[in-house]
């Protein structure tokens, strides 16, 4: 039986991060889990518990503006370099022994940027459908910046999206992810929302914990000319896991080819959220990979 995770708060880059630690044997070091866009650390729970049950020390955390971590201050935003700096200051405070970095989706992109910048600090890298978003053409830059200005203004002038009940939040998740069972959807709804209050201070229902600024369009133009330079510097073993029905950018093959050392595992029928729908299978594959490095 795996003990529940230890919850803690870690200040890194001025952001108060919410951290979960499953304190397994940890002979191989620490596996740090980086969640994806609009996700949160608790959604790794079944996967992390399975890893801990296999004898690993596991840490999951909420990125800035996600889950129970703090939002950015006035005038700030959520650019990939911000996530990388957060990670650089967080890791020394939570890692014991060698670092095995795992990123899902957006978390995988940030993990690639970190590992490419600080390759000697990482022992292995596991990317779960996390090889970057679809690339942009440089000609899109001006349009993206204009959309950024408009969407930020809309969020700042708008109101919170209120969910009347936790059941409504769970149903919203099930509508987006039909594979979700009722119990798991309810758990995610409880961990992913917070009670909302109106201007009068009275309870209104619930809202998602993430900062609404995440609903805006980033002004950054994501290009392979830049991202590929980071991938080429990742000198540690890389395991790339994806699902046949998942989120697979057209650039996936070209990006993987720029990694000096990698292998690929392909799942079927799990979709993009592999850690939700195949936690034990994923834990087994990640554990075998970590122990082989």
- Mean pLDDT by runs of 10 across the 293 residues of the chain is 94 99 88 99 98 97 99 94 99 97 99 98 98 96 98 90 95 96 98 87 88 96 97 98 96 98 97 98 99 94
| 231: its two tokens | 């991938």
- CA-closest candidate to residue 121, choices 30, 56, 15, 52: 30
| 232: its two tokens | 């080429």
Q: For 54-124, where are the alpha helices, taking DSSP H only?
A: 80-94, 106-117
- Residue 136's pLDDT is what? 95
- Residue 1's pLDDT is what? 76
- Residue 28's pLDDT is what? 87
Q: What is the CA radius of gyration of the chain?
A: 19
How far apart, in whole angstroms, are the C-alpha atoms of residue 102 and residue 44?
Answer: 11
CB atoms within 10 A of CB 85: 17
- CA-closest candidate to residue 8, choices 20, 23, 22, 24: 20
Question: What's the whole-model pTM score?
Answer: 0.97
Taken in order of first residue, the domains within the chain and their CATH numbers are: 1-135+223-293 (3.40.50.1820), 136-221 (1.10.10)
Q: CA angle, corner 181, sides to 287 and 272, nearest 5?
A: 50
Phi, psi of 242 (to 5 degrees): -145, 160
Handedness of CA 278, 280, 281, 285 (dihedral sign): positive
How far apart, in whole angstroms, are the C-alpha atoms of residue 17 and residue 33?
Answer: 14
């Amino acid at each position: 039986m795996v003990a529940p995770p230890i919850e803690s708060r870690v200040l890194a880059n001025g952001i108060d991060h919410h951290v979960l630690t499953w304190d397994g044997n940890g002979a191989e070091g620490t596996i740090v889990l980086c969640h994806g866009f609009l996700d949160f650390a608790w959604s790794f729970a079944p996967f992390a518990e399975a890893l801990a049950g296999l004898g690993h020390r596991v840490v999951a955390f909420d990125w800035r503006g996600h889950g129970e971590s703090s939002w950015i201050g006035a005038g700030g935003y959520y650019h990939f370099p911000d996530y990388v700096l957060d990670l650089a200051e967080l890791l020394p405070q939570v890692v014991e022994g060698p670092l095995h970095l795992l990123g899902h989706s957006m978390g995988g992109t940030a993990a690639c940027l970190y590992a490419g910048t600080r390759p000697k600090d990482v022992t292995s890298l596991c990317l779960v459908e996390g090889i970057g978003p679809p690339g942009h053409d440089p000609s899109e830059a001006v349009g993206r910046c204009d959309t950024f200005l408009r969407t930020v203004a809309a969020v700042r002038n708008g109101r919170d999206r209120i969910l009347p009940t936790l059941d409504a939040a769970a149903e919203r998740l099930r509508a987006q992810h039909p594979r979700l069972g009722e119990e798991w959807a309810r758990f995610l709804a409880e961990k992913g929302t917070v009670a909302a209050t109106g201007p009068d201070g009275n309870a209104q229902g619930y809202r998602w914990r993430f900062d609404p600024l995440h609903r805006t369009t980033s002004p950054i133009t994501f290009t392979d000319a830049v991202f590929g330079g980071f991938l080429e510097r990742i000198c540690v073993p890389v395991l790339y896991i994806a699902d046949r029905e998942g989120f697979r950018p057209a650039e996936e093959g070209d990006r993987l080819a720029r990694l000096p050392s990698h292998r690929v595992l392909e799942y079927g029928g799990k979709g993009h959220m592999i850690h939700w729908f195949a936690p034990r299978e994923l834990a087994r594959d990640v554990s075998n990979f970590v122990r082989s490095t």
